[in-house]
Structure 1
């Protein structure tokens, strides 16, 4: 399973234009250095999926995730999406999971420790 996830992650980076077509890859910088990422992947005309939220360890807990997620939500609306989805593992990413809930995402399913979440834009 880890190997498959790693393969898809590498594939998405190898061909950003195709993988995130009609979506976006957002990168947060501090003093010219990349410190955070999040991506928007088109699922269909009305739905996109948030992918690759990552904050470098030294920058966690400082509000960067919220800023990046707000930008991702704004960009998703501008791209015409009406719903945004993503998956996460609450037991592994409890801090992020709490942030998603506070920002208005709702859990729609949880199977084998993987929570599917969504927000109507």
Structure 2
């Protein structure tokens, strides 16, 4: 059974999970890690979710304002031994619900081509590939997605 906690960038469980995510991405992004990492700071994260299995923090995600209508999904992570259990779906659904409550009409996100599981997950979750936005314009390894919230 999962429990979702809404929090922010100061939550120690969130910060620890993000550190695990960054270590994972440093390996999978390879030489591109420095480029991507510059856009993943926590200073503008005011809406974060930590997912618990019992008392153990196993995953996280966040949203931040991109523009008046769009929230950007950031820092999505589920510990490797918890993948395939529905944990990521719980986190993403929680973020989408929160985005709706905040008045956003759309969620957008970027993930790298090397994160094959993530690309597959976002398609499965109803996201559609879109033109690269913002800092990802012209970046060949970036996959940008969007989902309109109903």
TM-score range normalised by the length of the shorter chain: 0.7 to 0.9
Query: What TM-score comes out, normalization by structure 2 length?
Result: 0.67
Q: Deviations over 1:24-44 (max 9, x none)?
A: 100001121211000001112
Which runs of structure 1 show a deviation greater than 4 angstroms over 4 or more consecutive aligned residues?
none
Partner residue, 2:51: 28
Q: Please tell me whether residue 73 in structure 1 is matched to residue 96 in structure 2.
A: yes
Q: Deviations over 1:44-83 (max 9, x none)?
A: 2211100000001111111100111111111111111011
> Structure 1: how far apart are the matches of 2:122 and 2:38?
26
> Structure 1: how far apart are the matches of 2:36 and 2:148?
27
Q: Please tell me whether residue 6 in structure 1 is matched to residue 31 in structure 2.
A: no
Query: What TM-score comes out, normalization by structure 1 length?
Result: 0.82
> Structure 2: how far apart are the matches of 1:79 and 1:32?
28
Q: Secondary structure at the match of 2:74?
A: strand
Instruction: Tell me the CA shift for residue 120 of structure 1.
Output: 1.1
Task: Give structure 2 stretches of 5+ with no counterpart.
Answer: 1-31, 133-138
Question: How many pairs align?
Answer: 112
Q: Please tell me whether residue 48 in structure 1 is matched to residue 76 in structure 2.
A: no
Task: Give structure 1 stretches of 5+ with no counterpart.
Answer: none
